[in-house]
């Protein structure tokens, strides 16, 4: 009987004075710590979920509601398990990444690209009818690709309320946007070259016309000079004839 009493006494003492692992303990386990109520235990769990397992027992002071005084009272009753913390750290690091990738892939596949979507695809958005879809397409053709989903509010018929409803279901394909921008740049450069060539042609035509006018003026002036010379020669002959006649009369 004495042996059994001692054995059970040891078990009870171990149970009562066993340290609580703050990295693995649940709400009930954390409330067994003296001075830690249900609200504080919930804050410990929330901190652990957000920031990962505690690297040291002193890190517990970063939890709201646990100051230095509280920590001094409970520091001998708590512990962290190195093995469990490393395992849980790996779980915390890898699990969210997998979830984020899965969410991104699933979300991106369901999103509608407003830069390439057809009328039928645009009308799948809640609140977007055929007329609004046509306005979106017309705006896109007139102004080029949307640079961001926020540009959709520039389309007539797409109010802030409607945009708030559909913003999580639309996207903008950046690669398509850059390709269109590059193609627009090429078109602009071609247009500029054409304008330059046109100006050169106009200048050459203007110069040629000026040369033509000058040559015509010169030929006209030459003709005038020739005619004036011929007239003067005729007058001279007339005067010479007159002089001869006068001399004959005098004789």
pLDDT score, position 76: 92
Closest CA to 25 of 47, 41, 43: 41
6 pLDDT band, cuts 50/70/90, is: very low
Question: HSE-up of 151 (CA within 13 Å, CB side)?
Answer: 15
Q: pLDDT tens across 14-25, in order?
A: 445 578 999 999
Instruction: Count the neighbouring beta carbons within 10 Å of the beta carbon of residue 51.
Output: 13
100 vs 132: which has the higher pLDDT: 132
pLDDT score, position 248: 55
What average pLDDT does the chain have?
A: 76
pLDDT score, position 182: 62
Asked whether 75 and 57 are in contact (CB, 8 A), the reply is: yes
The region of weakest confidence among 2-16, 100-114, 175-189, 195-209 is: 2-16
pLDDT(93) > 90: no
- Mean pLDDT across 180-204: 74
Closest CA to 54 of 34, 32, 75: 75
- Mean pLDDT across 18-43: 90
196 pLDDT band, cuts 50/70/90, is: confident
Q: pLDDT tens across 157-173, in order?
A: 899 999 999 999 999 98
pLDDT score, position 143: 93
- Express as a percent the part of the chain with pLDDT over 90: 36
Q: Which domains does the chain have, with CATH numbers?
A: 20-98 (1.10.150.320), 112-172 (1.10.150.320)
pLDDT score, position 195: 82
| Residue 82 tokens, joined | 């190195």
């Amino acid at each position: 009987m004495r042996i059994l009493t001692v054995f059970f006494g040891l078990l009870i003492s171990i149970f009562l004075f066993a340290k609580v692992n703050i990295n693995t303990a649940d709400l009930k386990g954390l409330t067994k710590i003296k001075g830690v109520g249900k609200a504080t235990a919930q804050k410990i769990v929330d901190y652990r979920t957000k920031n990962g397992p505690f690297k040291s027992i002193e890190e517990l002071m970063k939890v709201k509601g646990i100051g230095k005084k509280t920590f001094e009272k409970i520091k001998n009753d708590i512990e962290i398990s190195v093995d469990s913390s490393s395992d849980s750290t790996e779980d915390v690091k890898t699990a969210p990444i997998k979830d984020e990738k899965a969410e991104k892939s699933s979300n991106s596949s369901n999103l509608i690209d407003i830069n390439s979507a057809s009328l039928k695809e645009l009308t799948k958005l809640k609140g977007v009818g055929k007329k609004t879809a046509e306005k979106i397409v017309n705006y896109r053709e007139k102004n080029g690709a949307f640079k961001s989903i926020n540009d959709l509010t520039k389309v007539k018929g797409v109010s802030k309320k409607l945009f708030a409803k559909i913003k999580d279901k639309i996207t903008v394909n950046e690669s398509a946007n850059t390709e269109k921008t590059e193609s627009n740049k090429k078109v602009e450069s071609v247009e500029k070259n054409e304008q330059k060539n046109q100006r050169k042609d106009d200048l050459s035509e203007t110069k040629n016309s000026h040369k033509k006018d000058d040559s015509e003026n010169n030929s006209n002036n030459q003709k005038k000079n020739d005619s004036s010379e011929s007239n003067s020669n005729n007058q001279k002959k007339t005067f010479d004839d007159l002089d001869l006649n006068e001399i004959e009369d005098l004789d």
